[in-house]
Structure 1
Amino acid sequence: MRVHTNRKSAPGGAVVLAAAAVVLVGCERGAWTGAAPLSSGPAKAGCPAALAQAEAAVRQAEKTDAAWSGPTRGPRAVSGKNIVYVAQTMTNPGVAGTANGVREAARAIGWSIRVIDGQGTPAGIQAAFSQAIALRPSGIVIGGFDPRLTSQQVARATAEHIPLIGWHAVDSPGPSKDPALFSNVTTRVEDVARISADWIITHSHGDAGVVVFTDASIPFARNKSELIKEGLTVCSGVRVLAEENIPLSDTSSRTPLEVSSLLSRFGERWTHSVAINDVYFADAAPALRAARKKGAAAPYNIGAGDGDPSAFQRINSEQFQAATVPEALSEQGWQIVDEFNRAFSGEPASGYVAPVHIATAANSGGATAWDPPGYRAAYRKIWGRPSCC
């Protein structure tokens, strides 16, 4: 799951709306690619085993041609359905990217789809959800916000037997009893945190000074950063220099100042950074540039979540971000449609959780999104739809 602000360079997941004090849950060169790692020194004592495990995990996560590991069986397409996608805000690239995936999949299966924009405010999201229910749809997508914000609307939809499927709506993937969701489509935060830590261990060859950026006001974000730090502790040569608690709503104003302070405090000891959201590095770049840091040099930065287009652009142009752990937004949109088809057919949710991926300049191919192969053909085959159109 991803955490987001509704200013947009950060996509795919949660938004903090301070006015309501409500959490809305919403997504290189020099990077290790199988050749000699950046650091030429030996791994620190006690780290060789952890380093070997991290390298193997990173190799797997960096693959771009892995075979489809999702469902290959399921019900044939149910005809005549109409879906409403209630979006937290369509200015959030993760929410918008997933909505586009749902649109594409709906065309493939032969359904109609309508997107209603909640405009990123509690009142707007509640109004959008109420409008969705009034349309009497076959199913409703909770697109990137916490269902607790719309508990009355969730209760109404449940009473009217309208299946609800979340995208980054709750912490864990799969079905949810409270709130009542047929399924929630997201990656596992544990997997995202672990692979982010593994990338730093691998890229540094087990010798790194790390700064962690988080938003401790959001339980999900705080949990993610704690898991990242835990993952880094397996290598004795990797040291967490600092953890910067910057609310996502304040990243543009606070991150440049904090980065300047970090550079003053740690100098060359600061070799790597990891953030719970790519947006921190958009805001860190001006301070790093002002300090005459090179975009493709230390500190090497990885976003533990999202992979929005701006993050890919920074990675591909080697401008103060080396990697991201992106969501496969279009694929998740297709999975949402497949989960609805299972609900309409009286079958259980698929249980599929997409594996984590690491995107770098070396494996992105210049793309600005992660779009893995195989899922479109797999879902069309399940639904009994032609693969040509």
Structure 2
Amino acid sequence: MGAAVALAALAGLTGCERGSSAGGAAPSATGPAGCPAALAGAEAAVRRAERTDTVWNGPTDGPRAVPGKSLVYVAQTMTNPGVAGTVRGVREAVKAIGWHVRVIDGQGTPAGIQAAFGQAVALRPSGIVIGGFDPRLTSQQVARAHADRVPLVGWHALDSPGPSEEPPLFTNITTRVGDVARISADWIIAHSRGRAGAVLFTDASIPFARNKSELIKKELATCSGVRLLAEENIPISDTSGRTPQEVSGLLARLGDEWTHSVAINDVYFADAAPALRAARREGAGPPYNIGAGDGDPSAFQRIDSGQFQTATVPEALIEQGWQIVDEFNRAFSGAPASGYVAPVHIATSANSAGATSWDPPGYRAAYRSIWGK
């Protein structure tokens, strides 16, 4: 979601619509499941995604460490928790492989990111990370790096994982949006036992977010007992100003029919909390909220303390930082990209053990073994 957040912040988005409500009466959240087959499938998917005893399913072979390399990480903004998490992972990994990295903060503005990228190119590093922004916003700087044969690796730079010819990225690292959308909707189906009145929070001005929300709706629709009561279109750049008012309106209009929520990013629930608290809703009660976003530390804290968020679908940010370094090592060695895409995970208070991020086991040892370190 990092690139989507960047696009919202960078474009100074306008045209903010009020949330539109889906018609029809909401179902009761009690009684037998309204979709036995869909419920069974959702429950199985959720059980798999909630596991924390997973084994490393990423690369186990590849080129040995190429010595003496330097990277520059161009960050959309270091206030973006997803970007900051991957920076932490990159710093860990370059220390392990024996390289150097410099981080340049784009400060979340088009001019700032363009200047940061220009500075990165001028430093003539071995490789450049495009951290959380669309490289098409810096097309001149990308073209310069490409002409200088400096490989580019993106994190949330494009909608899809893997290599890209236009813009020219050795690879882009992100989870698959379809997987994230499906598992967040499956969680609602499973948690409600197939009987829910749901609200979806999205930002329709961002193509990535709009696509994610459409996929969430498609999966929710597989269960006839789950009704979409409202879809609230609130730009990410305006969540703090808009979300409390919209949530208050939803509470007045929907009352107890509103049992569950899903948002394309956890930030909506940070901003929904004051309105829910003012309405004397209990933090651990309905509406039960899941974020289909990065899984930043504040989301884990809300989940662990039972404060108006029940689950999140987090990215393994530090692991992805290590993957960034491994992908560069493959580029420097003339090897193809690994093709690895991390599986989706669901974090709840029952499985997070008080952690503030999703940090699966096994990847550090695997990458060290590949690099001969």
Q: 1:211 aligns with which of 186, 193, 199?
A: 199
Distance, in Å, in 2 between the alignment partners of 1:216 and 1:97 is 26
SS of corresponding position for 2:205: coil
Distance, in Å, in 1 between the alignment partners of 2:267 and 2:83 is 15
C-alpha deviation, 1:104, in angstroms:
0.4
Q: 2:139 aligns with which of 151, 155, 167?
A: 151
- Sort the Cα spacing of 1:360 and 1:141 in 2 relative to 1 into closer, same or farther, 3 A: same
Distance, in Å, in 1 between the alignment partners of 2:233 and 2:347 is 25
Distance, in Å, in 2 between the alignment partners of 1:205 and 1:19 is 40
What corresponds to 1:84 in structure 2? Answer: 72
Distance, in Å, in 2 between the alignment partners of 1:151 and 1:345 is 26
What corresponds to 1:29 in structure 2? Answer: none
CA contact (8 A) 1:4 1:277 kept: no
What corresponds to 2:98 in structure 1? Answer: 110
Q: Does 1:42 align with 2:42?
A: no
What corresponds to 1:353 in structure 2? Answer: 341
Distance, in Å, in 2 between the alignment partners of 1:196 and 1:20 is 26
C-alpha deviation, 1:16, in angstroms:
2.4
Q: 2:245 aligns with which of 257, 260, 264?
A: 257
Q: Does 1:273 align with 2:266?
A: no
Q: Does 1:161 align with 2:154?
A: no
What corresponds to 1:26 in structure 2? Answer: none
- Sort the Cα spacing of 1:92 and 1:355 in 2 relative to 1 into closer, same or farther, 3 A: same
CA contact (8 A) 2:30 2:195 kept: no
C-alpha deviation, 1:4, in angstroms:
5.9
Distance, in Å, in 1 between the alignment partners of 2:4 and 2:279 is 27
CA contact (8 A) 2:2 2:80 kept: no
C-alpha deviation, 1:65, in angstroms:
1.3
**1:245-295 residue CA offsets vs partner (Å, 9 max, x unmatched):** 001111111111111111111111100000001010001001001111000
**1:12-47 residue CA offsets vs partner (Å, 9 max, x unmatched):** x654224488xxxxxxxxxxxxxxxxx663111xx1
Distance, in Å, in 2 between the alignment partners of 1:216 and 1:89 is 22
C-alpha deviation, 1:118, in angstroms:
0.6
SS of corresponding position for 2:172: strand
CA contact (8 A) 2:201 2:233 kept: yes
The code of the aligned residue for 1:42 comes to P
- Sort the Cα spacing of 1:335 and 1:245 in 2 relative to 1 into closer, same or farther, 3 A: same
Q: How does 1:330-369 map to 2 (within 5 A)?
A: 330-369=318-357
Q: 2:221 aligns with which of 211, 230, 233?
A: 233
CA contact (8 A) 1:14 1:168 kept: no
CA contact (8 A) 2:163 2:337 kept: yes
**1:327-384 residue CA offsets vs partner (Å, 9 max, x unmatched):** 1100000000000000000000000000000000000000001100000000000001
CA contact (8 A) 1:144 1:169 kept: yes
What corresponds to 2:24 in structure 1? Answer: none
Distance, in Å, in 2 between the alignment partners of 1:143 and 1:383 is 23
Q: How does 1:170-185 map to 2 (within 5 A)?
A: 170-185=158-173
- Unaligned runs of 5+ residues in structure 1 are 6-12, 22-38
**1:296-336 residue CA offsets vs partner (Å, 9 max, x unmatched):** 00000000011001100100000000000001100000000
- Unaligned runs of 5+ residues in structure 2 are 15-28
What corresponds to 2:297 in structure 1? Answer: 309
* TM-score between both structures, scaled by the size of structure 1: 0.91
Distance, in Å, in 2 between the alignment partners of 1:277 and 1:4 is 10
SS of corresponding position for 1:239: strand
Q: Does 1:97 align with 2:90?
A: no
Distance, in Å, in 1 between the alignment partners of 2:213 and 2:169 is 26
**1:224-248 residue CA offsets vs partner (Å, 9 max, x unmatched):** 0010000000000000000000011
Distance, in Å, in 2 between the alignment partners of 1:376 and 1:66 is 14
Distance, in Å, in 1 between the alignment partners of 2:132 and 2:40 is 36
**1:122-165 residue CA offsets vs partner (Å, 9 max, x unmatched):** 11101111111111100000000000110000000000000000
C-alpha deviation, 1:105, in angstroms:
0.2
CA contact (8 A) 1:102 1:337 kept: yes
Q: How does 1:186-205 map to 2 (within 5 A)?
A: 186-205=174-193
What corresponds to 2:212 in structure 1? Answer: 224
- Sort the Cα spacing of 1:75 and 1:145 in 2 relative to 1 into closer, same or farther, 3 A: same
Distance, in Å, in 2 between the alignment partners of 1:167 and 1:319 is 30
Q: What CA RMSD, in Å, does the superposition of the two structures yield over aligned residues?
A: 1.2
Distance, in Å, in 1 between the alignment partners of 2:11 and 2:185 is 30
CA contact (8 A) 2:313 2:347 kept: yes
* TM-score between both structures, scaled by the size of structure 2: 0.94
C-alpha deviation, 1:3, in angstroms:
5.7
C-alpha deviation, 1:56, in angstroms:
0.6
Distance, in Å, in 1 between the alignment partners of 2:354 and 2:30 is 28
Identity %: 79
CA contact (8 A) 1:3 1:221 kept: no
What corresponds to 2:56 in structure 1? Answer: 68
The code of the aligned residue for 1:17 comes to L
The code of the aligned residue for 1:146 comes to D
- Sort the Cα spacing of 1:4 and 1:314 in 2 relative to 1 into closer, same or farther, 3 A: farther
